[in-house]
């Protein structure tokens, strides 16, 4: 009987030991599973956090207007520029803002010097950006028809033909752009080449400065874009004296300065024979004569790159300008000839 009891005790001890081991094993399994679940939760939370970060990184930037793209290139205000001297690496080259407009809702930014990143395709033509307007619009000057931004003999219109003026016409009230033959040429060109394009709805009927700047005034004048003593409203016109100065030209100075974007022939490596005397006239009158014996004069970009004044009885090459409406959205491009800007609305 004693042997049986001892045997029963041994069996019971083994059973209790197995039970205890089973309980410990269950606790161990539960603990492992709990730790694993916590680890998985941490990894899940980390994955969600990483996904959130990735979504933040790849989120596309807010759309920019072309005005904002131009403003983003600004090197500062024009207070450091000497407009009595040609543009250069030390006297303004790039995009600048006119100081007295800097605090406006739409400051006026302009391109100056030998810039190569102001090309834009608009209305199936290539242009160069000249400056912005105080309403957020943008002024463009003609380069060529089509989407290839290449200068050639077609980069000017009416070279020395129907844009001549005569003494009897200018002698009525003195010469002005609004009553000139050249305005008729520009208006007709716009009607035949731009008005029939889909983008024409985004061309502003713009107020253009049409005042007289005497040669005496030109010698001391600081470019003015906000005020004007005489204006004309049109879809297309010509550059003004002040806009050529902003771009890098100087009136009647000695020497040669062709290193700014409004001077085509050398700046764009186009032979003069192909461009057929590539002087380009402005719409700014230098002398508004009312005499039948003395011709009126306008400013033009001369063969050495200088601004000069010459009689309106001679024909000049012209490069039309337009102003696109505010709100043009940047679509693509970096402004180079190979990859010009494109916009949408």
> Token pair of 29, please?
């399994």
**Cα separation of 231 and 206, whole Å?**
10
**Cα separation of 246 and 253, whole Å?**
16
Average pLDDT over residues 27-33: 64
**Cα separation of 65 and 70, whole Å?**
9
DSSP string, 55-103: HHHHSPPPP-BHHHHHHTTEEEEGGG--TTS---TTS--EEEE-GGGTT
172: confidence class by pLDDT, cuts 50, 70, 90? very low
323-335: per-residue pLDDT in tens?
Answer: 999 999 999 999 9
Average pLDDT over residues 272-297: 65
336: confidence class by pLDDT, cuts 50, 70, 90? very high
Q: Which of 167-171, 187-191, 222-226 has the highest mean pLDDT?
A: 187-191
Q: What is the pLDDT of residue 171?
A: 45
Q: Which of 171, 176, 281, 301 is nearest to 228 (CA)?
A: 176
Q: What percent of the chain has pLDDT over 90?
A: 43
Domain ranges, ordered by start, for the chain: 1-58, 66-344
> Token pair of 226, please?
């906000």
Q: Which of 116, 70, 93 is nearest to 257 (CA)?
A: 93
Q: Which of 48-52, 143-147, 199-203 has the highest mean pLDDT?
A: 199-203
More confident of the two residues 281 and 198: 198
Q: What is the pLDDT of residue 298?
A: 84
C-alpha torsion sign, points 177, 181, 187, 189: negative
Q: What is the pLDDT of residue 33?
A: 65
219-238: per-residue pLDDT in tens?
Answer: 888 888 878 888 999 999 99
Average pLDDT over residues 166-184: 67
**Range with the poorest average pLDDT among 58-62, 98-102, 238-242:** 58-62
pTM of the model: 0.79
Mean pLDDT, the chain, integer? 81
DSSP string, 179-238: GSHHHHHHHHHHHHHTTTSGGGGGB--EEEE--B--HHHHTTPPP--S--SSEEEESEE-
Q: What is the pLDDT of residue 150?
A: 85
More confident of the two residues 7 and 120: 120
Q: What is the pLDDT of residue 243?
A: 94
Q: Does residue 135 have a pLDDT over 90?
A: yes
């Amino acid at each position: 009987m004693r042997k049986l009891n001892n045997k029963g005790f041994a069996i019971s001890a083994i059973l209790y030991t197995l039970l205890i081991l089973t309980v410990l094993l269950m606790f161990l399994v539960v603990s492992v599973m709990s730790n694993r679940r916590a680890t998985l939760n941490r990894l899940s939370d980390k994955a969600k956090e990483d996904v959130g970060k990735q979504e933040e990184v790849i989120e596309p930037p807010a759309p920019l207007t072309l005005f904002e793209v131009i403003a983003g290139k600004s090197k500062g205000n024009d207070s450091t520029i000497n407009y009595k001297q040609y543009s250069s690496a030390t006297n303004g080259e790039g995009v600048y803002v006119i100081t007295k407009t800097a605090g406006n809702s739409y400051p006026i930014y302009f391109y100056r010097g030998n810039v190569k990143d102001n090309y834009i395709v608009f209305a199936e033509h290539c242009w160069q950006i000249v400056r912005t307007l105080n309403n957020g619009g943008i002024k463009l000057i003609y380069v060529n028809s089509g989407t290839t931004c290449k200068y050639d003999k077609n980069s000017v219109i009416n070279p020395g033909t129907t844009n001549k003026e005569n003494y009897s016409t200018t002698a009525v009230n003195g010469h002005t752009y609004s009553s000139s033959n050249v305005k008729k040429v520009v208006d007709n060109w716009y009607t035949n080449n731009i008005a029939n394009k889909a983008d024409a709805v985004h061309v502003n009927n713009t107020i253009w400065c049409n005042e007289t700047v005497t040669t005496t005034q030109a010698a001391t004048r600081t470019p003015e874009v906000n005020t004007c003593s005489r204006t004309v409203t049109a879809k297309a016109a010509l550059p003004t004296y002040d806009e050529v100065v902003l771009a890098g030209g100087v009136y009647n100075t000695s020497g040669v300065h062709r290193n700014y974007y409004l001077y085509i022939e050398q700046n764009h490596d186009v032979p003069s024979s192909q461009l057929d005397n590539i002087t380009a006239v402005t719409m700014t009158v230098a002398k508004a004569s009312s005499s039948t014996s003395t011709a009126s004069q306008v400013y033009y970009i001369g063969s050495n790159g200088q601004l000069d004044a010459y009689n309106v009885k001679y024909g000049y090459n012209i490069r039309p300008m337009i102003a696109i409406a505010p709100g043009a959205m940047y679509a693509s491009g970096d402004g180079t000839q190979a990859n010009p800007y494109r916009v949408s609305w």
